[in-house]
Chains A and B, each alone.
Chain A
Amino acid sequence: MSLLEVDDLTVTYRTGGGDVPAVRGVSFALEAGQKLGLAGESGCGKSTMALALLRLLPKTARLTGEIRFDGEDILTMSWGRLRAVRWAGASIVFQGAMHSLNAVQRIGAQIAEPIRLHSKATEAEIRRKTGELLEHVGLPARRADAYPHELSGGQRQRVMIAMALACDPKLIVADEPTTALDVMIQAQILTLIESLVAEQDISLLMISHDLSVLADTCDRLAVMYAGRIVEEGPAAAVFGAARHPYGQALAAAFPRIGDPASRRRPQGLAGDPPDPAELPTGCAFHPRCPARLDHCDRVDPALWPTADDDRRAACVHVLPDEGLSLLTKEPA
Chain B
Amino acid sequence: MADSALPTAPVPQLAQSVRDRSGVRRRLRYYGEKLGGSLVSLFAVILTSFFLFRIIPGDPVRTMTHGRPVSIEQQEQLRREFGLDKPLAEQFWSYLTGVLRLDFGDSFQFNRPVTDLIGERLWPTVLLVGTSVVISAALGLWLGVRGAWNHGSLSDRVNTGVALTLWSVPSFWLGLILIVIFASGAGWFPTSGMESTAVEGWERIPDVAHHMVLPLVTLVAVVYAQYLMIMRSSLLDEMGSDYIVTARAKGLRDLIVRRRHAVPNALLPTVTLIFVNLGFVVFGAVLVETIFSWPGLGQLFYSGLSVPDLPLVQGLFILFSAAVILMNLLADLLYPILDPRVRP
Contact = CB atoms under 8 A, between A and B. Distances in A.
B243 to A, nearest CB: 5
Nearest to B268: A104
Interface stretch (B53-61, B133-141, B188-196, B245-253): B245-253
A159 to B, nearest CB: 11
Interface string A76-108: 000000011111100110111001111111000
A104 B338 contact: yes
Interface string A100-134: 11111100000001100110000000000000000
B18 interface: no
Interface residues of A, number: 41
Scoring A104, A150, A185 by chain B CB atoms within 10 A of each residue's CB, the highest score goes to: A104
B245 A104 contact: no
A155 interface: yes
Contacts of B268: 104
A91 B264 CA distance: 24
A245 interface: no
A281 B4 CA distance: 50
Contact of B3 (A84, A113, A188): A188
A56 interface: yes
B48 interface: no
Contacts of A254: none
A191 B5 contact: yes
A86 B265 CA distance: 24
A138 interface: yes
Contact of A114 (B243, B250, B261, B341): B250
A149 interface: yes
Nearest to A185: B3
Contacts of A92: 246, 249
Contacts of B338: 104
Contacts of A101: 243, 246
Contacts of A84: 251
A139 B5 CA distance: 8
B7 interface: yes
Nearest to B5: A138
Given A104-B339, A147-B341, A152 B246 contact: no
B22 interface: no
B5 A188 contact: yes
Interface residues of B, number: 27
Contacts of B339: 103-104
Interface in B220-270: 241-243, 245-253, 261, 264-265, 268
A92 B7 CA distance: 24
B44 interface: no
Contacts of B6: 138
A291 interface: no
Given A83-B251, A83-B253, A86-B251, A102 B5 contact: no
A294 B204 CA distance: 93
A236 interface: no
A331 to B, nearest CB: 42
Interface string B320-343: 000000000000000000111100
A318 B197 CA distance: 98
A100 B251 contact: no
A149 B7 CA distance: 20
Contacts of B245: 51, 56, 94, 100
19 contacts: A54-B249, A56-B248, A84-B251, A92-B246, A92-B249, A94-B246, A95-B242, A96-B242, A96-B243, A100-B242, A102-B261, A104-B265, A113-B250, A113-B252, A117-B252, A138-B5, A140-B8, A152-B3, A191-B5
Q: Which 6 A-B pairs have the closest CB atoms?
A: A86-B251, A154-B3, A96-B242, A147-B340, A99-B242, A83-B251
